Amino acid sequence: MLWPATVLGAVAGLALASIPGALLGGLLGQVLDRRLRLQSWAALRERLGGRAALRDEWLLFLLLGRLAKSGGRVLPAHIKQARAEMQRLGLDAEGQRHAVAAFARGKTARDSLRAPLLRQREKSETLLRACWRMAWVDGRVDQAEHELIMLWGKWLQVTPTVQAQLRDAYAPQPKASVASTGGAYQQALSLLNVTAEAEPAQIKQAYRRLLSRHHPDKLAGSGASPEVVRQGTERTRELHQAYDLIRQRHGFR
């Protein structure tokens, strides 16, 4: 005897309704594993939605991918800078895999970033510093990069003044001329606390030690005030200029 489809559907519905919730969940879980080859409900949502939900912990690399592609072409320098950010964060192999995926996803420019950025306001300076580092990687910040970072800063509730400080902190510094006056050279030696007879290794060590002490990233990470970070930014510039002048005068790289 053949049963009408409506009757069969009703019977199936009653059968499912009589199954306890935990057992029903277990049965559906087996379907996920065996039929759809999915490991979780999140994976099912991803399959149905067509793309994964944006994870806040990988937002930084999504931003960097968006910036790198904003000029139309991702340069090797962009890839190198993204890798540098992974090293800066101390990501393990699994973390790097997620970061690479977020960077690639950022290049598509399909995600709305306002809500994720609003959730990350406490990390605003860390995010924006990394963005400015990426923007300056080719020696200049083009209009598209500038507009993106300023918009993100607005969503992160960062003032234009702070944005300007962060932008300038990573701008390339002009090379000191070999023909600089003796007074500037002596000031550079004094700033690094080395003598004209110092070996290149000693000069490099002094430079790195002072740079570590005054670098704005380190100061910001330690909870320093904006004024202290600004002072650190200025001192870092002076150290860069002094080191370049001494390096050129002594003829080492």
Q: Are 46 and 52 in contact (CB under 8 A)?
A: yes
User: pTM of the full predicted structure?
Assistant: 0.54
More confident residue, 73 or 20: 73
- Supply φ then ψ for residue 195, to 5 degrees: -105, 165
**Reported confidence tier of residue 183, pLDDT bands at 50, 70, 90:** confident
Of 110, 113, 108, the closest CA to residue 58 belongs to: 113
Q: Which two tokens stand for residue 250?
A: 């002594």
Task: Give residue 175's pLDDT.
Answer: 53
Nearest-angstrom CA–CA distance, 77 and 74: 8
Task: Give residue 20's pLDDT.
Answer: 52
Q: How far is CA 67 from each of CA 59, 81, 230, rounded to the nearest angstrom?
A: 12, 12, 25
pLDDT tens sequence across 94-126: 999 999 999 999 999 999 999 999 999 999 999
Task: Give residue 222's pLDDT.
Answer: 85
pLDDT tens sequence across 60-96: 999 999 999 998 899 999 999 999 999 988 889 999 9
Task: Give residue 149's pLDDT.
Answer: 96
Task: Give residue 55's pLDDT.
Answer: 64
Task: Give residue 35's pLDDT.
Answer: 46
pLDDT tens sequence across 207-252: 999 988 888 888 888 888 888 888 888 888 889 888 888 888 877 7
Across the range 188-211, mean pLDDT stands at 89
Task: Give residue 165's pLDDT.
Answer: 87
Across the range 148-163, mean pLDDT stands at 93
**CATH 1.10.3470, applies to 182-250:** no
Task: Give residue 54's pLDDT.
Answer: 53
Nearest-angstrom CA–CA distance, 207 and 185: 15
Q: Taking each helix axis from N to C terminus, what angle separates 143-155 and 59-70, rounded to the nearest 10 degrees?
A: 150
Task: Give residue 105's pLDDT.
Answer: 94
> What percent of the chain lies above the pLDDT cut of 70?
74
Q: Which CATH class is domain 56-169?
A: mainly alpha
Q: Is the pLDDT of residue 51 over 50?
A: no
Nearest-angstrom CA–CA distance, 220 and 50: 39
- Domain ranges (residues) in the chain: 20-53, 56-169, 182-250
Nearest-angstrom CA–CA distance, 100 and 123: 20
Q: In what helix (H) or strand (E) does residue 248 lie, and over which residues does it extend?
A: helix 226-250
**Reported confidence tier of residue 11, pLDDT bands at 50, 70, 90:** very low
Q: Which two tokens stand for residue 24?
A: 């029903």
Q: Across all residues in the chain, what is the average pLDDT? A: 78
